[in-house]
Structure 1
């Protein structure tokens, strides 16, 4: 039986976390009018920025912001429209094989659910920060261009 260990807080619900992520990516998508300009922008997050955004500081993988832009849009699309049936099939088979050998599968499933729910919440929160950072960096990069055009 699933037990609720914390009081209900809709702010921390997976649904709200997904909505914050989708909102951040939609904002990014509306702000970034010329995605190819992101190719030359460094994809780095400093400790101060991470702390000011309410999250832990983290360093993103090497590459240009354009790759991050494409990745964030792809993840948003997967959340909104679902994942293709061929994706992740191996993981599901491994989980099923591991569950067969256990006596109390329900307890194991509950633990797996909580583990993955917490992980998904953490990843979506970091991706939301990444989308917000990308949007801000794009605005910084495009600002001097706007001034020269006027």
Structure 2
């Protein structure tokens, strides 16, 4: 019953975080099912993305600013993010993240303030990170779809084969 409520909620609320997460996971699963031989992505540059005007965001910056050198590394990155979303962070990473968050909170707020101020600050922090997560997941979904489609085009044209 809980799954039914959850799917009804996300299907009725196009801009919900659950919907964005589900779209990213579905796009990444599709990418993983389509790319039968990931090693063919090695040494294939991501440069084609910059020439496609549909892939640019509103700031005229490339939609895929990335330090990945090739499509294979990008493929692995997308799979890794999906796994982190589905399985959570490793205990070591989670503890490091919590320590970092506490340290940042102490530096910014000094640990002082009334409970009302803290609640308001937490709400603004939540909205800031929520908007960021929504934007990042939307971009990652687009990247997974693009990688899948490009793989299909390249394999169809045989240009991955050397």
**Structure 1: gaps spanning 5 or more residues:** 1-8
Corresponding residue of 1:5? none
Match of 1:22 in 2: 25
Q: CA RMSD in A?
A: 2.2
TM-score, scaled relative to structure 1: 0.80
Asked whether the 8 Å contact 1:17–1:125 carries over to 2, the reply is yes
Residue of structure 1 aligned with 2:100, choices 91, 102, 106: 91
1:35 pairs, out of 30, 34, 38, with 38
Q: What is the CA–CA distance in structure 2 between the aligned matches of 1:95 and 1:117, rounded to whole Å?
A: 18
Do 2:25 and 2:82's aligned partners in 1 also have CA atoms closer than 8 Å?
Answer: yes
Deviation at 1:40, TM superposition (A): 2.5
- Deviations along 1:46-98, one digit per CA (max 9) or x if unpaired, are 352326xxx65524324101111101001001111111232223432224424
Question: Does 2:86 match 1:80?
Answer: yes
Residue in structure 1 matching 2:63, options 41, 58, 63? 58
CA distance in 1, matches of 2:104, 2:19: 27
Partner of 2:74: 68
Deviation, 1:137, is 1.0
Equivalent residue pairs, number = 136
User: Does the CA-based 8 Å contact 1:25-1:73 persist in structure 2?
Assistant: yes
Aligned to 2:53: 48
